[in-house]
Amino acid sequence: MLKASLEKHTLDFKRPSGTSRGFLTQKDSWFIRIWDSDNPAIGGMGEDSIIKTLSPDWNQNYVKFLYQVVNNINQYIKPFSVITGKDNHPDKDKMIMLSKYPSIYLAVETALLDLKHGGTKVIFPSDFVSKQAPIKINGLIWMGSKEYMLEQIKEKLAAGFDCIKLKIGAIDFQKELDLLAFIRSKYSADQIELRVDANGAFSQEEALSKLEQLAKYDIHSIEQPIKQGDWIAMRDLCKNTPLPIALDEELIKVTVSSEKRALLETIQPQYIILKPSLIGGFSGTDEWIALAEELNIRWWITSALESNIGLNAIAQYTFTKNNPMPQGLGTGQLYTNNIPSKLVIQQGHLLHQ
């Protein structure tokens, strides 16, 4: 018999962090701890991370359902029998309910894996954990004034990153082009890989023109140039784009296998970007990866503002996928009150020490 508890933790940003949806100053997470009633000293921990402007599962009943899961954990772990090693048959109703809450799904999945490995925060045993094998990552540049973004760019380059990602769409587009021009005046595409993330900020009418302007700066890829939901418009854009397009928000709320396949076959993107807390945990991410590789679509994994509890789990999972591309991970340095972590960044790589 398993038991579970819940603890809310509100993360405070060191400074407002900008996206095309506005600026964030705080972000809520809940930590789920699961243990066996016969051995309460050993428990597994998972993070339920929510971005209220982005998370597909956030609604007015979210917290109520979260407590329902925690207070009835033995009912809700049946879909995770593969993880727990118990010979339970999945409860389809509970699985359907949990699939609509990917952030909770990931938290329970992580806590059960942690418990399985002795509650040591080793979620996926590998050389990443045991031998400090590195994961190559991109340096993230947050939206803000031109001066602030330029300051971040210089810091990332000085820290040894050779792949940086800029969030665009919040300031004047010409100023964003000026930033890219500055980087390219100093570093060629062979020296620095540039990724940009529009978070759906471009209108369908202007998107192709903006992509053509961006392409002049040897951009590796652009994430979600237009809003998600219009598969035909995105398909046409992916077909005619002068630079590779990566789907991000487009994957959110697509939970059925047949719909995932239909989306990828219809749009035929160059890349997809996978955020486990938004697309159904590690199980959901595995399914997207399998489909993408079958259809010759490349991919990488990105965290989504989790605390170090979630980052630790996602980083360990990412390492097991053996993807050599720079991944979108970090160490939660955005926050003033994060959880202590063994994750460190050295010369554009993430390590577990």
Q: How do residues 118-132 score in pLDDT, each as one tens digit?
A: 999 999 999 999 999
Residue matched to tokens 């340095």: 333
Where do the structural domains in the chain lie, given as residue ranges?
2-116, 127-352
**Which has more confidence, 312 or 158?**
312
**How much is the pLDDT for 80?**
60
DSSP string, 92-158: HHHHHHHHT-HHHHHHHHHHHHHHHTTSSS-SS-SHHHHS---EEBPEEE-B--HHHHHHHHHHHHH
Instruction: Read off the DSSP letter of residue 78.
Output: G
67 pLDDT higher than 50: yes
On whether the pTM is more than 0.75, the answer is yes
Triad 239, 189, 176: Cα angle to 5°: 75
What's the count of helices (H) and strands (E) in the chain, helices before strands? Answer: 13, 13
Mean pLDDT of 54-68: 93
How far apart are alpha carbons 348 and 139 in whole angstroms?
7
Mean pLDDT of 212-241: 97
State the number of CA atoms in the 13 A half-sphere of 108 facing the CB. 32
Contact status, residue 271 vs residue 245, Cβ threshold 8 Å: yes
261 pLDDT higher than 50: yes
How far apart are alpha carbons 269 and 176 in whole angstroms?
24
Give CATH superfamily name and number for 2-116: Enolase-like, N-terminal domain (3.30.390.10)
Please state, rounded to an integer, the average pLDDT across all residues of the chain.
91
Contact status, residue 70 vs residue 56, Cβ threshold 8 Å: no
Confidence of residue 87 (pLDDT cuts 50, 70, 90): very low
235 pLDDT higher than 70: yes
Mean pLDDT of 58-85: 81
Catalytic-labelled residue, pool 27, 121, 260, 275: 275
Residue 176 token pair: 């964003």
Mean pLDDT of 217-228: 96
85 pLDDT higher than 50: no
Catalytic-labelled residue, pool 167, 210, 227, 260: 167
| Strand order through the sheet with 39-49 | 2-19, 22-36, 39-49
**How much is the pLDDT for 89?**
39
**How much is the pLDDT for 311?**
97
pLDDT digits (tens, 9 = 90+) for 139-195: 988 777 778 888 888 899 889 999 999 988 867 899 889 989 988 998 899 989 999
R_g over Cα of the chain: 20
Q: Is 167 a catalytic residue?
A: yes
Q: Return the minimum-mean-pLDDT range out of 67-71, 87-91, 100-104, 295-299.
A: 87-91
**How much is the pLDDT for 84?**
43
Q: Return the minimum-mean-pLDDT range out of 13-27, 67-81, 104-118.
A: 13-27
Q: Return the minimum-mean-pLDDT range out of 16-25, 215-224, 312-321.
A: 16-25
**How much is the pLDDT for 215?**
97
**Which has more confidence, 15 or 178?**
178
How far apart are alpha carbons 340 and 19 in whole angstroms?
26
If one looks up domain 127-352 in CATH, what number appears?
3.20.20.120
Q: Is 239 a catalytic residue?
A: no
